[in-house]
Amino acid sequence: MKRIALLNCFVIISAIVSGQPQSVHEIKSDKKVNYTLSGMRHGVNYFPQVRLANVQYETGEVLDFDKYHSLDVIYDWLEIWAEKYKELVELYEAGTSYEGRPVLQITVTNRKTGRDTDKPGAFFEGGRHSGEVTGCETVMWLARYLLENYGTDPDVTHLLDTKTIYLRPVNNPDGHNLYMNTAQSNRSSVRPVDNDGDGLLDEDAPDDLDNNGIIHTMRWKDEEKGNLIPDPRDESGRIMKRVEPGKGIYLSSTEGIDNDNDGRINEDGIGGLDLHRNYPENWRPQKEETGRGFTQGGAGEYPLSETETRSVVTFLLSHPNISVVNSMDTSVPMHLRPPSTSGSEERMYPEDLKWYRYFDDLGKKITGYKRAGDVYNDYGGGNPLFGHGPDFGYWYYGSIWYGDEIWNSGRFGDLNGDSITDQIDMLIWDEKENSGEGFTEWYTVKHAVYEEVELGGFDPKFFSQNPPARFLETWIKNQALFNLEMVKHLPELDWENIAVRKTKSYKTDSTDYQVKISFRNRGKLPTALKQAHLVKIVTEDRVMIELDTAGTASGNTGYKILPDEKRPVARERRGGGQFADQAAQRRPPLRIVPFTEGGAVTTAVFNIRLYKRSELKGQAHVLSTRGGILKDKEFIIR
């Protein structure tokens, strides 16, 4: 079916009259012949449904990773796990997409050992960019690994008994669904956007000219303007080489036609926003008025304008127990971290940067990625990215936050010995390792403007952007194991010792005691990065005691918490007379303690005076935003 939307005959195909959809899509993908988008746009609003060979569309009895999974299948498995592992999995809607689909998320922890927010946490997310679906699969692989190994693997069991892992496989369900069910692909949200600045929204999307479900590369002969020739190193003529305009044989674009007659092909397809440029830290607009300032493509109308990004930020801010985050894309591959607008040494605390560099090296050892480092220098070569997730993650949220890139687009190195890695090497690898399935030989089809064009090239979805399905599990497993290792580095508090000693006796039948309460961080990360403390995303770590008043007269506790010579008792009120003093005594006293490094011991000291009592029972608790809670360590003063 030919789909041409010319400027003089635009038909807005939409169920609404505003830019924001009013209807709510069901979770299940549409099963109609055409896949229809929400939102008002000047181009085509529907596309033929396709079934891609690399994708599983029906939920099987087991979850394997020899294929990718549709949104339906992913959500089905979240529901299956929530029903099967009720003590470990909580399933809930963490947000709603632009088109109204639920953004589903699971919390994975042993609920019998405490609330999820009372334990150190990690958050892993995929599917922010529509077509970078490998990130979704690595989140699912990690979930399956944890759940199937709990109770049999001591490490996994201990992990879920003491930590909490929040998993959001698909942050952008609209884009994921579009990608898996049509030939189309877009950056992130399907919200209509004017990408080419002509005042029209999404008016020139790619066209599947031969209705085979794939948007290939398209080339056509133009000896006047041509800038491509067959690469002489490739005798088959499949790989093209760029030359100066007018010295080539071909021009090329993605498959399609110039729907809006502006001389460009496919320059304004579906959407155009980038959810990974929509975070509030160092956000810049898509356009500024001076012509001399920084801008950021895909930034959105304002920071957190997009519901998908906003749901991530609001969830994290309401769950400050999370120390480690990875929101995964494709394809470099690289362990990617902040900063995105400056060098690492310019803005990061040295003690925090030390941890990032440690995880850079650890990640490369686990995944085999050759690259790891900051976005600004190590990835961008000094070019800034604004509104970037990792920058929010560190400067705003004070966490270890990565935005890892999985898969290498078939770039496995210099395979032909010419000292460069390029498409020739990709073709060699594809033929040798992938049975040649990643490249489509050029073939001729009819075209409305150029009469005949050739379609072909590397598979845009399951070679260039994501690994072929047969290699999927290797990549997602390695990435998941790195994420798992970061979880193992989370702080883990445990009791070390409580020592009670008599310090002074008085003739008035009162006695002073010193209670030293010590706990150890058996994890590796500190209970908070320095940046987390600076931006007040965490409160100071505290040790609290509760003392038994059983058997005492009303209003007479029989003891007094003595002021710390170095620091007053937290929450102690000054003034107010006898009744205020008694009320202060009834409130659990606290000691503020330093954040505890991995492996270190922290001690809090309480000086307590007993009046006409031979003993006093108590319990100690440790309260740490990111280290979790230690409860009910009993002691006796006597």
Q: What is the pLDDT of residues 289-325, one digit of tens each?
A: 999 999 999 999 999 999 999 999 999 999 999 999 9
**Tokens matching residue 377:** 């220098």
What is the 3-state composition of the chain as percent helix, strand, coil, each rounded to the nearest 5?
Answer: 25, 25, 50
The per-residue pLDDT for range 173-187, each reduced to its tens digit, is: 999 999 999 999 999
- Give the three-class secondary structure for 511: strand
Q: Specify whether the CB–CB gap between 497 and 82 falls below 8 A.
A: no
User: For residue 102, is the peptide bond before it cis, meaning its omega torsion is within 30 degrees of 0?
Assistant: no
CA 416, 417, 418, 419 torsion: positive or negative? positive
pLDDT at 575 over 90: no
CA distance 191 to 298: 11
**Tokens matching residue 271:** 């959407």
pLDDT of residue 578: 46
CA distance 143 to 165: 9
Distance, CA of 151 to chain centre: 27
CA-based R_g, the chain, Å: 30
Residue type, 286: Q
Q: Specify whether the CB–CB gap between 547 and 559 falls below 8 A.
A: yes
The per-residue pLDDT for range 22-50, each reduced to its tens digit, is: 333 355 555 678 999 999 999 999 999 99
- Residues sharing a CB contact under 8 Å with residue 309, sequence separation 6 or more, in sequence order: 275, 278, 279, 300
pLDDT at 584 over 80: no
Compute φ and ψ for 8, nearest 5 degrees: -85, 5
Residue 475 burial class via C-beta count within 10 angstroms: exposed 0-12, middle 13-18, buried 19 and up:
buried
pLDDT of residue 557: 77
Model confidence at 16, pLDDT cuts 50, 70, 90, reads: very low
CA distance 419 to 422: 10
Q: Specify whether the CB–CB gap between 235 and 428 falls below 8 A.
A: no
Compute φ and ψ for 65, nearest 5 degrees: -125, 35
Q: Which residues of 343-378 are buried (b: 16+ CB within 10 A; e: fewer)?
A: ebeebbeeebbebbbebbebbbebbebeebbbbbbb
pLDDT of residue 572: 41
Kindly state the percentage of the chain with pLDDT values over 90.
88
- Residues sharing a CB contact under 8 Å with residue 529, sequence separation 6 or more, in sequence order: 323, 349, 351, 352, 355, 394, 398, 399, 400
User: For residue 435, is the peptide bond before it cis, meaning its omega torsion is within 30 degrees of 0?
Assistant: no
- Give the three-class secondary structure for 532: helix
**Tokens matching residue 61:** 């009895």
Strands annotated E in 522-565:
541-547, 559-562
- Give the three-class secondary structure for 172: coil
User: For residue 339, is the peptide bond before it cis, meaning its omega torsion is within 30 degrees of 0?
Assistant: yes
pLDDT at 389 over 70: yes
The whole-chain average pLDDT of the chain stands at 92
The closest alpha carbon to 285, from 297, 275, 268, belongs to: 297
Model confidence at 456, pLDDT cuts 50, 70, 90, reads: very high
pLDDT of residue 567: 56
Pairing of strands 601-611, 510-521: antiparallel
Strands annotated E in 408-529:
439-447, 451-458, 493-505, 510-521
Distance, CA of 441 to chain centre: 37
Q: How far is CA 372 from CA 333, 363, 404, 405, in A?
A: 9, 8, 9, 10
Residue type, 216: H
Average pLDDT over residues 388-416: 98
Average pLDDT over residues 517-535: 98
Compute φ and ψ for 71, nearest 5 degrees: -60, -40
Residue tagged 């830290």 (tokens): 281
Strand partners, 230: 240
Lowest-pLDDT choice from 313-322, 327-336, 553-562: 553-562
CA distance 269 to 192: 9
Model confidence at 551, pLDDT cuts 50, 70, 90, reads: low
Compute φ and ψ for 557, nearest 5 degrees: -75, -25
Helices vs. strands in the chain: H and E counts, helices first = 12, 28
* pTM given for the model: 0.92
Domains belonging to the chain, first-starting first, are: 50-179+280-407+469-488 (3.40.630.10), 493-637 (2.60.40.10)
CA distance 140 to 193: 31
CA distance 406 to 397: 24
The CB-side HSE value for 104 (13 A sphere, CA atoms) comes to 21
Model confidence at 508, pLDDT cuts 50, 70, 90, reads: confident
CA distance 404 to 357: 14
> Residue 571 gets which letter from DSSP?
T
Q: How far is CA 255 from CA 3, 77, 213, 403, in A?
A: 13, 35, 11, 30
DSSP assignment of 55-103, as one string?
Answer: EE-S--SS--SSSEE-HHHHHHHHHHHHHH-TTTEEEEEEEE-TTS-EE
pLDDT of residue 553: 52
pLDDT of residue 67: 99
pLDDT of residue 23: 33
